[in-house]
Amino acid sequence: MSETTYAHLSDVQRSLFEETLSLAAQTLAPLAESGTPGELNRPLVRALAEHGLLGRLFPNVGAVELCLIREALARHCTDAETAFAVQGLGSNPILRCGRPELADEWIPRLASGEAVAGFALTEPGAGSDVAGLSLRAEPDGDGFRLSGEKVYISNAPDADVYSLFARTTPGAGARGLTAFAVPRDSAGLSGEPIALISPHPIGRLTLEDVHVPASHVLGQVDRGFAVAMGTLDLFRPSVGAFAVGMAQAALDAAVTHAASRQAFGGRLSDLQGISHQLADVATRVQAARLLVFSAASAYDAGLRPITRAAAMAKLFATETAQHAVDVAIQVHGARALEAGHLLAHLYTEVRAPRIYEGASEVQREIIARQLFRE
C-alpha cells in the first residue's frame, strides 16, 4: 500500500484499512465464493459480524470509517462489501429513528449477523425521485395497512426486516412519506428474487394490506423523507468508496499485466499508449479517493448539509470506476472477458453504483442547483 496514496489517513485509520484488506482477501472472499450467486449469503453476513465489522455500524459509525471499510472490502471481495453496506443501510433507520423497544428487538440481532436487513425505497414508478413514491399506508386501528410494491430491494425477499417507506398523505410529495420497520414474517408481505447481471441478492416485495403497528413507525408520520435522506447522506459518500475500491482493483490488475505481458518486442508497459492511459486512471482514482474522504470528513465534522460534497464524491468515483474497469479490460484483451476473471466480475459489478442511491444524472442536477443557488 503506497504511503503517499493514503497519506490523508491517521495511523488508526490506516490500521483499520489494512486489517480489512487482509480480512477480505483471506477470510471473506472464500466465503463469498462458496455462496450461491443471487442468494442471500448468511454465513458471509455472520463472518462480517464475527470479525467485528458489523459491530462498527452500531451505535454510531462515522462516515470516514464507513468509507475505509467499504473501499477495503471492495478491493478483494465485492460480495462482502455489498453485504456490509446493505446491512448498514437497512438497519440505520431503525437504529436512528426507531422507538427504544424496536431498536432493542432488532439491533442486537442485526449487529451479530443473526438477522439481515433491507432498505425498501425504490418502486416501479419511483427510483431517484423519492417524492414520487406511491405505496399506500392507510390508518388502521393502532397502526397502518400497507399496500403496494417495491422493486430492486437488496436482500429481498429474504431479509428479516425492512426499513420501508410508504405514502401516508396522498399528493403531499416528499412531505407525505412515512418510514416503517416491516418484519419479513408480516402477514400479506411476499416477494420474489430479481436476476441482475450483478449476482447480488435483490428482489421485489409485494404488500397486500400488511398491518404495521404504530410502534414500528420510524421517526414521525409524514416525515419519512427526512429518515431516508438522513441515512443516504451518511451512506452516499461511501458508495464512492465502494467504487474507488473496485477501480483500484482494476488498476492493480492492469498494471501487473502490462508489466509482465510481452508484445511487439517488449512489455506492454513500454508502450506509451498503454502506460499513459494507466497514468490517467491512477490520477482519477486518487482524485476520487480524496473527494470521498473530503465528503466523509465533512459529515463527521458535523457540517450540514453535505449534499453537494456527497454528490460530487459519488458522481466522480462511480464514473471513474466504470472507466478504470473498461481500460483495464482493454489492456488485458479477450482474457479479461473469460468467465471467472477478476475484470469480468468487476465489469458486472461496477455498473450499478452509477444508478442506485441517486443516478449520476441526479448527482449532476444536485451539483448544478447548488452552483446556481449560490
Tell me the catalytic residues. 357
Locate 127 and state its grid cell.
427510483
Q: Concatenate the DSSP letters of all residues of 181-197 into one string.
A: EEETT-TTEEEEE---S
Cβ(315)–Cβ(33) under 8 Å? no
Q: Which residue type does 243 have?
A: A
Cα 169 from Cα 334, distance rounded (Å): 54
Cβ(331)–Cβ(345) under 8 Å? no
Residues 6+ apart with CB under 8 A from 6: 14, 17
Residue 104, SS3?
helix
Angle between helices 272-300 and 307-332 (to 10 degrees): 160
Q: Which residue type does 172 have?
A: A
Cα 61 from Cα 58, distance rounded (Å): 6
Cis peptide before 183 (omega within 30 of 0): no
Tell me the H-state helices in 113-157: none
Cβ(203)–Cβ(157) under 8 Å? yes
Cα 115 from Cα 106, distance rounded (Å): 8
Count how many Cα atoms sit within 13 Å of the Cα of residue 143 in the half-sphere of its side chain: 17
Residues 6+ apart with CB under 8 A from 281: 247, 251, 254, 320, 323, 324, 327, 328
Cα 117 from Cα 107, distance rounded (Å): 10
Q: Which residue type does 328 have?
A: A
